[in-house]
Amino acid sequence: MAHPSLFIDALQYNNWSEEIFKQINQGGLSAVHVTICYHEDFQEMVQNVIDWNRRFEDYSNLIFLGRTAADVRKAQKEGRTAIFFGYQNCSPIEDNIGLVEVCHQLGARFMQLTYNNQSLLGTGCYEENDPGITRMGKQVIKEMNRVGLVVDMSHSSEKSTLEAIEISERPIAITHANPTFWHPALRNKSNEVLKALGESNSMLGFSVYPHHLKDGSDCTLESFCNMIADTAEIMGMNNIGIGTDLCQNQPDSVVEWMRNGTWTNDRDFGEGSASFAGFPDQPEWFRDNRDFVNISNGLKSIGFSENDVELVMGKNWLNFFDASFESL
């Protein structure tokens, strides 16, 4: 049975299970970009692909691997969900630019140049110094543009993000973040970045992860939707979507992996945390994928037209997928 609305979520990292795939289906999502790498090297990332291949086999009535925008349309028509792979770091390509194309061939469609720290390609948002995109970074962006791997700057610093937008010949994405004018988290993005995204036809996916939200877990749906309206004034209505950063059913040990990886012996508590508290509670209006419709209804309630709601909830991402996933 076809999904009645086109819903796309540009970032989730759940503890995947049949229960969650059923919730995604009940929520009517036709496409989800899933994180399959934080700090993994190439071989470790391949094991994650193997794990996903088994899920595609076991739950083929609910999910399948998405490679092109046409797969989103297929998923909507069939009432299933196309799963698109992405990396939150550039670690799978190691120091070998040839692996960019191999990763695309394995199904990757998004790659962050950095995850909080300095990488071989650029600077993360937690670094004190921001020298921008590196020599290797410029070459990798060029190669990502060629093969159809989206440059994602969600966890990157200001200068590196602005340079990536300028260097990339194709629009980039910030799949999961919010504006700093609303909530000044290190991970959120300045008005200058928002303007540059809009001018380059790049995309911003709004996050419901509490550390990215004004008032954290107590953030109201009305506040979130008004923030979307204010961002649309800066970026235009065609360059915004949803990237929830939902981390459902994950054990607290996963937060440690996300923040610490293999690069430190200290415990990096991360933004908004004075201690290692694990995952924050989701806002009551977005507990899991079945609540996706709440955002749609919230946008309508503050005065968005039906057409504009459709753009934010899925059509803008679909148009971006159409322009981004094929090789040049």
Tens of pLDDT along the chain (328 residues)? 999 999 999 999 999 999 999 999 999 999 999 999 999 999 999 999 999 999 999 999 999 999 999 999 999 999 999 999 999 999 999 999 999 999 999 999 999 999 999 999 999 999 999 999 999 999 999 999 999 999 999 999 999 999 999 999 999 999 999 999 999 999 999 999 999 999 999 999 999 999 999 999 999 999 999 999 999 999 999 999 999 999 999 988 888 888 889 888 887 655 544 455 678 999 999 999 999 999 999 999 999 999 999 999 999 999 999 999 999 8
Q: For residue 34, list its beta bridge partners.
A: 12, 85
φ/ψ (deg, to 5) at 12 = -140, 150
Which tokens sit at 52? Answer: 């996903």
φ/ψ (deg, to 5) at 85 = -80, 145
Please count the CA atoms within 13 angstroms of the CA of 103 that sit on its side-chain side.
36
Which tokens sit at 61? Answer: 């009535």
Handedness of CA 24, 27, 31, 168 (dihedral sign): negative
The residue whose two tokens read 């962006």 is 141
Mind giving me the DSSP string for 144-197?
Answer: HHHHT-EEE-TTB-HHHHHHHHHH-SS--EE-S--BTTT---TTSB-HHHHHHH
The residue whose two tokens read 């649309």 is 232
Domain 7-91+175-194+203-324 fold: TIM Barrel (3.20.20)
Give the residue extent of every domain in the chain: 7-91+175-194+203-324
The pTM score is 0.97
The answer to whether the beta carbons of residues 262 and 39 sit under 8 Å apart is yes
Q: For residue 173, list its beta bridge partners.
A: 152, 203
Cα 61 from Cα 75, distance rounded (Å): 11
**How do 108-112 and 150-152 pair as beta strands?**
parallel
φ/ψ (deg, to 5) at 127 = -75, 145
